[in-house]
Amino acid sequence: MKVLVTGAAGFIGYHVCRRLVATQRCTVLGVDNLSDYYSVDLKRARLAELAKTRDFRFVQADFAEGEAFAGIYNTLKPDYVVHLGAQAGVRYSTENPAAYLHSNVEGFLKVLEACRARPPKHLIYASSSSVYGAGSKVPFSEDQAADRPVSFYGATKRSNELMAHSYAHLYGLTLTGLRFFTVYGPWGRPDMTPVIFAKAISEGTPLKLFNHGRNLRDFTYVDDIVDGVLKVLLYPPAEPVSGVPHRVFNLGHHRPIEMQLFARMLEELLGRKAEIELLPPQPGDMVETCASLDRVHAAVGYAPRVPLEEGLRRFVEWFKSYYQV
């Protein structure tokens, strides 16, 4: 089968592409614009790993450029689409909201339009735990209202879910949104907590813990996320809710950890003490995230397998190797 993956040079996109080609049953076309939001060298290093495989091809392009993306899409004629490309980052969305509007809203529209013209068997797209905002109760379940996101990033991801539902209703596209919960692991993004913390500990620079380190996060190992993506991909909605072939699932670990304890675990694995700086809450941050997995487990049997202790050990091994610590 042929699978088109946007955001292929990104953290989750790289791991999804690698797993797909490893099945030896897929031809994978990766699309990425290699944005300089974070290190392009890291993105190229991921692509270099994928280039070693036989069934992976890559096109550098911005999916938000509608005509160019439509041309790529129509050339490949994919059976499945995994849309992971996006402008990521909660805090950066307070500084540059226009980048989120371009990529996450306008870009998603271009992807939907290409798929409307030639529907794939299934379109999966990345949403986020950030859609849960003020008033959400832990564990976060998909049937809770998600109409008060506390970050603009979360607002754009919620808009993706509403756009997807409308296209499923109007045009019969088969879609599934996946709300990812704090993904970590080898090849992780440098703007995310594990790399930021590991660098601060290794370099002896202050490690900033907002909300005095009391925030809780549902860290989910990237291999578990990929397991969920592939399971959902191959099982489109069989009995659409209200006749609309669109659904949303959480993909998380369901075991949140306090950020102070997370920092201590990294200290132990890196063999160095952190210089911790306790700070007030950061605008746009959520106090706690925790995924209810009942719905996705019932639908496709998703269950995370990698405990945080093991996942962090694997992450630190990669971190030391890649950053030559």
Decide if 79 contacts 1 (C-beta within 8 A): yes
Give the number of other CB atoms < 10 A from CB of residue 173: 21
Strands 80-83 and 122-128: parallel
The pTM of the full predicted model, rounded to 2 decimals, is 0.96
Task: Give the separation between CA 73 and CA 69, rounded to whole angstroms.
Answer: 6
Q: Which domains does the chain have, with CATH numbers?
A: 2-185+219-253+291-305 (3.40.50.720)
Q: What is the pLDDT along the chain (325 residues), one digit of tens a residue?
A: 999 999 999 999 999 999 999 987 899 999 999 999 999 999 999 999 999 999 999 999 999 998 999 999 999 999 999 999 999 998 899 899 999 999 999 999 999 999 999 999 999 999 999 999 878 899 999 999 999 999 999 999 999 999 999 999 999 999 999 999 999 999 999 999 999 999 999 999 999 999 999 999 999 999 999 999 999 999 998 766 568 999 999 999 999 999 999 999 999 999 999 999 999 998 878 889 999 999 999 999 999 999 999 999 999 999 999 999 9
- Active site positions, annotated: 153
Strand partners, 124: 82, 176
Residue 239: per-residue pLDDT: 65
Strands 216-217 and 257-258: antiparallel
Please choose, from the candidates 4, 59, 67, the residue with its C-alpha nearest in 3D space to the C-alpha of residue 34: 59
Strands 220-221 and 183-184: parallel
Please choose, from the candidates 64, 102, 57, the residue with its C-alpha nearest in 3D space to the C-alpha of residue 83: 64
Q: Which residues contact 119 (CB under 8 A, 6 or more apart)?
A: 171, 172, 173, 174
Task: Give the separation between CA 179 and CA 258, rounded to whole angstroms.
Answer: 21
